A and B are shown apart, each in its own frame.
Chain A
Amino acid sequence: MAHLITALILLPVAGAFFMNIAPRNYVRPLALGFNVLSAVVALVLWRNFDTAGAGLQLVEHHAWRMDRGFCALMLVMQSALYGTFTAQNFVLWFLFYEMSLIPAFLLIKIWGGENRDRAATKFFLYTFLGSVALLLAFLGIYFVKGTFDFAALATLAKTGLLPGRLAWLAFAGIFLGLAVKVPLYPFHTWLPDAYETAPTGVSMVLTGVLSKMGVYGFVRLLLPLFPNEIRTLGPWLLGLAVCSIVFSAFAAWAQSDLKRMVAYLSVNHLGYCMLGLFAVTATSVRPMPEFQAALSGVFLQIFNHGITAAALFYFVGLLEQRRGLRGIDDFGGLMQRTPLLCGWMSVAMFSSLGLPGLNGFIGEFLIFKGSFAVAASFTAVAALGLLVTAIVFMRVMQALFSGPLAEGCRTFPDLRPNEKWTVIPVALLMFAVGIAPQFILNIFNATVVQMARLFA
């Protein structure tokens, strides 16, 4: 197992090095090859046991621009992500956590769209500020407790990790670091800028995996280490999660740039994850089945959001590629011209708005079920997010697909074969998870039971 993890982390790095010495023509197949290879390793791991939602390579294969540097950086980032999800020790974890930041920064800065310098700098500095807070907090813990090991710290945390004010300081530091990363309202303002500007492939990885590092961090670090602090702040944290859900859904409604809209919905969907997590940890009632529902929902939602949001970014990218623009009013009547594109894009959108039969519903249902039982009023408000998400997507579908064919869209090609091969497996996966989610749930059921027992 250990070797596998090492291999998983090192493979993309090796690929990145290789990329720089490879002849230009081979860049694309090489990047793909390394990606598939690492996906295979990840899958092998997955089959054994893995709590991380890292099975997202299916989507990432299709990097947009096939520059050497671009592919190399993408692979470095992936390697960092694998590292983050497998580290068991803070130093290692933090190393990978930060390592992912640099390629992302460069990818946005070099290959991004308009305003890329600003967005990249904002992204980097904002998340880095969080990381600094995180590092300080962990150093504080280390000076008091003398260990960086997650498991050891979690054991210590059962009797209160740190005394008094120090605990609050450490909590605040770690919370800030992770909240920026997730991102949790109101620490999310870097996200729309960064996702909007980043090239499509990068947006996909950012939303699919990078934002999961934050959620993963919450599960791995904050919740086990500071149960008392979280309980004390319970309503506030739940309030933040609800704000994430409701406000970003509304903000998505107000956007006219498709990519920015998807970015806001990404915040919204991560808000559901946070709602589930906080509901489990931040309340005083402790019913086991509800906890298991919420935690299963959170894990499933992590996975779902990974594929759904990435797919949405992919579709927006396809539209942008064809039109050159991505404003909601730049399109119209696409259904007449590109029925396949519209059809599969609708699948992704319906999945995102939580239509039963697709993956989004199962995750959201479980989260809502779990959190409603322990935090009914918060959950009821959060349900407003479900409505607004539907409004947002209905608005998009109306503007994009229906009506007379817009002037700039007359020459649109429908999905090309390679695009089909990217889209269809992902869409089928959405259906599969929506109809028979057991195969995904099996992966983390044991973890869920264990964690629910831990929190209950």
Chain B
Amino acid sequence: MTPTLQLFLTISAALFSIGLVAALSRRHAIFILIGIEMMLAAANLNFIAFWRFGPNPQQPTGVMVAIFSIAIAAAEAAVGLALVIAIYRHFRTTNVDQLNQLKG
């Protein structure tokens, strides 16, 4: 079993799908955040895979983008968690079904 691009992409797609399902199905805001993180991770994996199997693997471009993306994801998670805490404090719940204030 040699590591091929297909393999990585398949894993990444599965990871993305799991993340998406988690983000869509869970009601707890933290879980939705975790789902989103998983989808980000799938994207990072794609970056790495395309870099590694790309035409020019000597330059560390893929790693750079992945690291950049992870940094952004960290910041985003921080903001997201802070929002969740703020929402919880305000609404006394983290159930997104009840958080429908954006309704038009």
Find out whether A and B make contact in their complex, taking CB atoms under 8 A apart as touching.
Answer: no
